[in-house]
Structure 1
Amino acid sequence: MKNIYLLIGGIIFVLASVFLLTDILSYFTKLPPPNVAGEFGDQFGVLNTLFTGLAFVVVIITLRQQAEQIRLQRQDLQNQKEDLKLQREEMQRQCAEQKRQADEFEAQNRLMKIQQFDSFFYNYFNQIYKFKDDINKMKIKNRGYEYKLIHSVYEILYDVYHNDEYKILDKISIDLIKGIMAHLRLYGDSLYIFFQYILDNNYLDDEQKIFYLRILSNSLDSTENKVVYFYGLFCKYYNIAEELNKNGILYKDRVIEQFSIDSTLDSLRNNMDVERNVWLQNWQPTQKNTM
C-alpha cells in the first residue's frame, strides 16, 4: 500500500514539474517565458538531467537494497544452518543420553538378575549338597571295605578295569551299578540340570559361569567328580559332561575313559535312560504340586 502512495505522489510531482517548470524557471532566472517551442523544449534539458541523476540514484539505492536483502538472506541461511546444527547436536546429545540411560538400566537389570541368580544358586546348592549328604550315609561293602554309595561305583569300575582281562562289566557288576545309579538319580539329575542352567544363563559372562561351576565341582572330592562325569555319560548328559570336562570342571581318568567308550555298556546306558525318563515323569508332577 505504501508503494502505491509513493507511485501516485511521484506521478503528480512529475506532472506538476512539467507544467510549472516554465514559470519556475522564469521566476528564478528573471527571464521572460520562451516564445518558441524549441526554446520551451530546451527548458527540459535541466529537468532531464535531474531525472537522469535521480534515476541513477534510485538504481544505486535499489542495488544497495538488493545487496542488503541478499546479505540478510545469507544471514538468515547462516542462522538456519546454525539452528540446524544446534538441533542436530541436541538430538545427538539426547540420543547419547537415552543410550546412556538404556545402558545404565541394562546394567542395573543385569546386576539385579545376577543377584537373584546368586541367591537362587546358594539355595539350590545347599539342597543339592543335602542330596549328596543323604546318599553318602548309605554304604556298600566291597573287597572287605565299606564305601560310600557314590565311591562304590568307581570301585566297581576300578576292580573290573584292573582285574578283568577284557575290561568288560559282567551282569553282576551291571546290575549293581544300575542299583546304585537309581539311588543317585535325584542327586545326579539335579546336579546336571543345575550345570545346564548355569551354562545357559544369559546374564553371566564366561568367567562368572566358570566361578559358579567351580563352586559345584569343589563340593565333590576326586572320586565323586569322576563318578558324576560317569553318571552324565549314561543319563543323556553327554554334551554337558564333555563341555564341563573341557573346562576342567569334571574330569576322568583311564578307568572312566575305558568304560565311557566301551560298546558293551550300550544296553546299560539305554536301560538307565528308560528308567530315568520314567522316574522324571513320576517326579515332576509331585514337584509342581508342591509349588
Structure 2
Amino acid sequence: MDSKFSIIKFLRWTVGSVILIFIAYVAILIGTTWPISEFSITNAGTFGDSFGALTSLFSGLGVAGLLATIFLQREELKLNRRELEETRKEIQLQSQTFHRQRFEDAFYQMLALYKENLRELSIRPHDGDSHRIFGIEALRYLITKFEKAWGKHKLHKFPADENERNEYLYTLVSTIQSVFVRQTRYVETLSSILVLIQDECVPRNGKETYWRILASQLTAYEIKYLFYQALISPDYTTLRNVMLQSQVFQDRLATLNLPDPHRNSFEVLWNISLPKRRNQFTSPLSSAQIKAARKSIQKRQKEASTIAQRTK
C-alpha cells in the first residue's frame, strides 16, 4: 500500500512538473521572440519545431506512466493474492473449528452413553438368582471372584519353560473366560470412543488430551476388567493399541495391582510391552530418608514393647 501511494504521489508531481515546464518553456520562447515581426508558414514551422524537446519529454513521460501503471497493477495483484491467502486460511480455520466442535460433541455424547451403559451393566452373582448387581459393583464382584478363583491355582510365577508357559497361559485364559461375563455393549461403546479419538481428533497431537479425559472417568475396576478382556479377546485390537500408544493408559496400568505374571502373559500373547508396576503414591522423601525413618520407628516400637513386657 505504501508503494502504491508513493507511485501516485510521483505521478502527480511529474504531471505538475511537466505542466510547469511547458508553461515556462512557452513563456521563455514567446519572451525571446516577442515582438513577432512577421507571420508566415516558415516562421510558424520553425516555432513548432522548437517544441521537439518537449515532445520527447512527453514521450518519455508516457512510457514512465505506462511502467507506473504496470507496477500499480502488479501491486494490486499482490494485494488480491494476499487477500485470497488470508481468506483461504480463514476458511481452513473455520473448517477446523467446525470439525473440532463436531468431534467434541460426538465425544461427550458417546462418553455419556458409556456411563449409561456402565450403570445398566448387570450380572447375577449366583445362577438361578433373580438378584442382580449393577455398574461398578458388578465389575468389582467379578474381579474379586476372579482373584479368588485364580488364587486356588497357586501359580505365582511366570514359567520360563515353553511347555509350562503354555499350560500357564491356558489356565489363565480359561479362568478369565469362566469368571468374566463379556459385556459387549459396554466394551464396544468404549472401543467406539477410542476409534473416534484415533481417527477424528483434531489436532492430531491432541489425542492424549482426550485419552486423559476418558481415563479419568475409569475406575480401577474398569481398567482391570478391560485389561483382562483385552488379554483374552482377539477382537479388542483397539483397546490393545491404546495400551501401547497412550501414556496416560500406561500410567494407569502401571499403578494397578495386577500380578506381574499376568502382565507377562499379555506381552507374550500380543507382543505388547506393558509398563512395570510401580507405587501409585510418591513421596517427597528420598529412599535413604524413608529407610532411616522406618528403622527409627521400628526401634522405638521395639523399645516400647520391651518396656510393656517388663511392666507386666
**Structure 1 and Structure 2 fold alike (TM over 0.5):** yes
Pairwise CA RMSD: 3.8
Q: In the alignment, does 2:248 pair up with 1:248? A: yes
Matched, 1:138 2:137: no
Instruction: Give the 5 Å matches for 1:1-291.
Output: 58=46, 62=49, 64-65=51-52, 67-135=53-121, 137-138=122-123, 148=140, 151=143, 155=147, 159=151, 163-166=155-158, 169=168, 173-178=172-177, 183-201=182-200, 203-207=202-206, 209-232=207-230, 234=234, 235-237=236-238, 238-244=240-246, 247-250=247-250, 251-253=252-254, 254-263=260-269
Per-residue displacement from partner, 1:171-206 (whole Å, max 9, x unpaired)? 564234235566233322321232122122253342
TM-aligned CA distance change 1:170 to 1:239, over 3 Å: closer
What is the letter of the counterpart of residue 138 of structure 1?
I
Residues 185, 178 of structure 1: CA spacing in aligned structure 2 closer, same or farther, 3 A cutoff?
farther
TM-score normalised over the length of structure 1 = 0.55
Deviation digits for residues 75-120 of structure 1 (CA, Å, limit 9, x no counterpart) = 1222122212221221222222222222222222222222222222
Q: CA deviation at 1:215?
A: 1.7
Deviates more, 1:249-258 or 1:103-112: 249-258
Counterpart contact for 2:149–2:175, Cα < 8 Å? no
The offset of 1:69, in angstroms, is: 3.1
**Which structure 2 residue ranges, 5 or more long, are not aligned?**
1-41, 127-136, 160-164, 255-259, 272-312
In structure 1, the residue corresponding to 2:200 is in which secondary structure? Answer: coil
| CA–CA distance in structure 2, aligned partners of residues 160 and 73 of structure 1 | 108
Could you say which structure has the higher helix fraction? 1
> Is the 1:154–1:223 contact (alpha carbons within 8 Å) kept by the matching residues of 2?
no
Question: Offset at 1:152?
Answer: 5.1
Deviation for aligned residue 1:243 = 0.8
Amino acid paired to 2:248: G
Counterpart of 2:249, as a letter, is I
Aligned to 2:302: none
Residue pair 2:117, 2:186 contacting (<8 A) in 1 also: yes
1:133 Cα offset (Å): 2.5
Query: Residue 248 of structure 1 aligns to which amino acid in structure 2?
Result: V
* 8 A Cα contact 1:132 1:187, kept in partner: yes
CA contact (8 A) 2:139 2:222 kept: no
Determine if contact 2:215/2:249 at 8 Å carries over to the other structure: yes
Structure 1 runs not aligned, ≥5 long: 1-53, 267-291
* One-letter code aligned to 2:113: Q
TM-score when scaled to structure 2?
0.52
Contact residue 128 and residue 187 of structure 1 kept, 8 A: yes
Q: Deviations over 1:214-273 (max 9, x none)?
A: 1211111234224434544542233333112xx22344343542121235x89xxxxxxx
Identity of aligned residues (%): 14
Q: How many residues align?
A: 202
CA contact (8 A) 1:150 1:224 kept: no
Amino acid corresponding to residue 84 of structure 2 in structure 1? Q
How far has the Cα of 1:125 moved from its partner? 0.8
Note the alpha carbon deviations across 1:45-86, whole angstroms, 9 max, x for none.
xxxxxxxxx79x95x964751x33332222122212221222
